[in-house]
Amino acid sequence: MTTTRMTTTGTDRFGQVVTADASSTVDGWDLAITDVLDFRGEPEERLHRLTADDESFVMGLVFTLAGAVLGGDDPLSAAVQDDLVVLEDRSRRATRRERDHATAVATLVAGDFTAAAACWDDIGARHPHDVVATRFAHAVYLHVGDDARRLQATTAVLGRLRPGDPGHGVAAGQHAFALEEVGRFAEAEHHARLALEVDPVDVWALHALAHVYEMQERTDEGIEFLRGTRDAWIERDHLALHLEWHLALRLLAIGEVVECLALVDERLPDADRGFRLSDLTSLLWRLELAGCNVGDRWTALAARWRGHDQLHTTGFLDLHAALAFSACPDAPGAEAFWAGLDACQRDGGSQNARTFDEVVRPLAAAVRDHRRGRHAEASVAIADLASATHRVGGSHAQRDLFTRTGDASQRLAGQPTTTEDPA
């Protein structure tokens, strides 16, 4: 005899209905989302436990699956595919909002990132206080470097909320970053400070301000700001290293390389996730472009990238691994990395596959040419890709690394240089 599982629902801290078998699951969901917004703790571990213990809980799988794909995990891995099957099964008994979240996740896993973000935009339009929907839309647009859609999305979110509404401060911080990325720096700073009035340690708003200082080359202010707030954000471990990277960029701008090298030495032994390795790789490459002798640090960095399980799924990560293996071409794992990059994402059917084929592989080849001394070839290739480089994701400040590399190759090849980032 087959029995039908009876599910109950609760309401989370943002007023959203959550399907679960137990009220304690909703309480755990609230704690996890609080950690997510604070960039601290291990919310994924909490959500994995809740998902395992509560067979009706949908939103935990939504969050962990989307986070895994955006974090660089292989969408085709057994773990992701098995969880997707469970999510699709559970969502049949869930609310319409949760089913729509499941659709967005399935679209993301399939490699169609912009379409997934559009799904989350639609959920946010119907459920203005759904911070998960609006946060994932924001994250996906960053992942694919779509400044225009991100700004459109954050503008719409703020238009639906009023000061004092749940999630308004979070939305203001996201909007600040979106404004900064399109060059509207004064507005970006204004909205970041609005977010900080709601939460003085809103790390994403602090991050948006760091970008404003970086893009406007307000070096003294940027250093003072990041050092002055360091005690507040250094424990927010999911973004702390990236804020240290921002501080290092401003220090590098005034030639203070000792602290930059110390950051690499201190952080590298514990850098595990791909995006943390990317910050350190980017910093070391920039130090060399500035004429700094970095010693044998590339060997240690290449060793951390070797066999990394977040390669060949996310163009941004592969390009940073390419920097390390270009700098250390004889490192164990280098040959396997280049072969893997050549073979991956070849189906051509998804947005992600097209980005790898049209941008990631040729840009990786260009930085490899730069390192091999083939400067004329590198400079031409990087210039030709300038209008498409944004598709690998990340911010203007992060992608500026490739512009600087192209400029360096142009100088070494005896050609005129440009420092513009047309993306």
Residue 155 lies in a domain: no
Residue 68 CA to chain centroid, in angstroms? 11
CB proximity list for 83: less than 8 A, separation 6 or greater: 61, 64, 65
- Give me the pLDDT at residue 309, please: 85
CATH for 209? 1.25.40.10
The reply to whether 409 and 328 lie within a common domain is: yes
The reply to whether 141 and 172 lie within a common domain is: no
- Give me the pLDDT at residue 7, please: 64
| Domain residue limits at 345 | 268-423
Tens-of-pLDDT digits for all 423 residues of the chain?
333 454 678 999 999 999 999 999 999 999 999 999 999 999 999 999 999 999 999 999 999 999 999 999 999 999 999 999 999 999 999 999 999 999 999 999 999 999 999 999 999 999 999 999 999 999 999 999 999 999 999 999 999 999 999 999 999 999 999 999 999 999 999 999 999 999 999 999 999 999 999 999 999 999 999 999 999 999 998 999 999 999 999 999 999 999 999 999 999 999 989 999 999 999 999 999 999 999 999 999 999 999 888 899 999 999 999 999 999 999 999 999 999 999 999 987 899 999 999 999 999 999 999 999 999 999 999 999 999 999 999 999 999 999 999 999 999 998 654 444 444
Backbone angles phi, psi at 234, to 5 degrees: -65, -25
Residue 150 lies in a domain: no
Identify the residue whose tokens are 């990395």: 337
Residue 116 lies in a domain: yes
The reply to whether 141 and 9 lie within a common domain is: yes
- Give me the pLDDT at residue 420, please: 44
Q: How many domains does the chain have?
A: 3
CATH for 71? 1.25.40
The reply to whether 223 and 279 lie within a common domain is: no
- Give me the pLDDT at residue 411, please: 96
Residue 56 lies in a domain: yes
Token readout for 139 is 């994250």
Residues 117/140, Cβ–Cβ less than 8 Å: yes
The reply to whether 195 and 49 lie within a common domain is: no
Which parts of 196-316 are beta strand (E)? none
The reply to whether 129 and 227 lie within a common domain is: no
The reply to whether 95 and 196 lie within a common domain is: no
The reply to whether 342 and 214 lie within a common domain is: no
- Give me the pLDDT at residue 414, please: 86
Q: Which of 404, 313, 322, 319 is nearest to 359 (CA)?
A: 319
- Give me the pLDDT at residue 423, please: 45
Domain boundary among 195, 224, 254: 254
Residue 321 lies in a domain: yes
Identify the residue whose tokens are 């395992």: 52
Residue 154 lies in a domain: no
Q: Which of 378, 364, 289, 360 is nearest to 334 (CA)?
A: 364
- Give me the pLDDT at residue 418, please: 45
Residues 353/325, Cβ–Cβ less than 8 Å: no
The reply to whether 194 and 139 lie within a common domain is: no
Domain boundary among 145, 175, 207: 145
Identify the residue whose tokens are 């400044």: 147
- Give me the pLDDT at residue 416, please: 56
The reply to whether 304 and 359 lie within a common domain is: yes
The reply to whether 350 and 226 lie within a common domain is: no
The reply to whether 210 and 75 lie within a common domain is: no
